[in-house]
Structure 1
Amino acid sequence: MKQFIAVSVLIFCFTSTSYSQKANTGAWLKLKLKRADSVLITAHEPTKGIVRIDSAGNQMPSPKLILDGKPNYGVIRESKFIKGKAVDSLIQILDRPFKNNSLPVTLAACYVPRHSIFVFNGNQLSYIDICFECNRWERSEDLSKLGEFDSRKWREIKAFMISQGLTYKLTNNMGGI
Structure 2
Amino acid sequence: MAFRLAVGLGNSPSRYEGTRHNVGMAALGRIAGMYQAKFSLNKYCAAYLSKANVCGKDVVFAAAQGYMNESGVNIANILRFLKIDISETIVFYDDITIQRGSFKISEGGSSGGHNGVENIIARCGNSFARVRIGLGGKTFKEMDLADYVLGGLSDDEKASFEASLPKLKDAFEMICSKGLVAAQNAFNRK
TM-score, length of structure 1 as denominator length = 0.26
Larger Rg: 1
TM-score, scaled relative to structure 2: 0.25
